A and B are shown apart, each in its own frame.
Chain A
């Protein structure tokens, strides 16, 4: 398979949220999202209820994928930071640990310089957490993954989803 299975556990989830909540405060941002490169939302903090987070996650991943394609065409590995400037709100998008996308939405109460500075520090911490997460998931898989929720799924369970 192209990528190992993405799995999230309670422990790492709360560690991640601590980091991005601190980033939210320190960067004076409105909202921060973490998105898997495949477009799955991992977590979000701040004024998340004002946004369609699922769509944001999917479009962000599409955006990163498209610019990644552009990068390869000109001989770059990837563009690790994207910045979109709007009239009021801006988006700072960066790749963390090669696999996860960090999206920071901010307005005039913050600045690009501040966001870049804080994102850099938070990225290192997030990178380390995701690294641990990956190891943990691999180990669990090796040991048989015992508590995998779908191990005992039945045809009826699946049929019920569509009723």
Chain B
């Protein structure tokens, strides 16, 4: 849930990047971190293993500027993608305002994508959320690799409801900000409706 502070005139929202292991969630955040002006970002925190696999979460606070006199901050989180970290993933979804599902476009990862998406839906349900009602976008990552699945198939399997979707290559940054912007916009529009 977003946190609106009338005293300090701030509004804070939480965005969670979800997806199978090694799909590029942390890379998305790293790119955003690299390309954001120092005054607009806080420290990026990665709770990772020695081999740089996310263990608990990555966290990146962004202060984007003011909307109607309110400072708007987005807190970006990633979940650990590996299947056996499910308990941690559930915790990170608490209080989420918007979700980015990062899919790995490689053929051999399609099963992992579908499993992770199903897991997202279930874990949200456990917290009392419905993915179809949350601000939600899909990113098809790793479009630069040779053995990728066609956009049509990705769409059919991973985005049947037709939410905003983006092709990306997180290592070069292609599509990264477009994805973030889209989910932020959906969140703010949701706030506008006053839930």
Contacts and interface: CB of A to CB of B under 8 A. Distances in A.
Interface of A: 1-10, 12-14, 36-40, 42, 52, 54-55, 58-59, 62, 65-66, 68-69, 141, 145, 148-153, 155, 157-158, 160-162
Interface stretch (B68-76, B101-109, B137-145): B68-76
A52 B91 CA distance: 22
Contacts of A55: 42-43, 45, 59, 61
Interface residues of B, number: 47
Given A3-B1, A52-B42, A158 B7 contact: no
Contacts of A40: 3, 12, 14, 75
Task: Decide if the interface of chain A is mainly helix, strand, loop or mixed.
Answer: mixed
28 contacts: A2-B1, A5-B1, A6-B1, A6-B2, A6-B4, A8-B8, A13-B7, A14-B7, A37-B94, A38-B3, A38-B95, A39-B75, A40-B75, A54-B61, A55-B43, A55-B45, A58-B61, A62-B47, A65-B92, A66-B88, A145-B194, A148-B194, A153-B188, A155-B185, A157-B67, A157-B68, A158-B184, A161-B64
A158 B188 contact: yes
Interface string B9-24: 0011010000000000
Task: Decide if the interface of chain B is mainly helix, strand, loop or mixed.
Answer: mixed
B136 interface: no
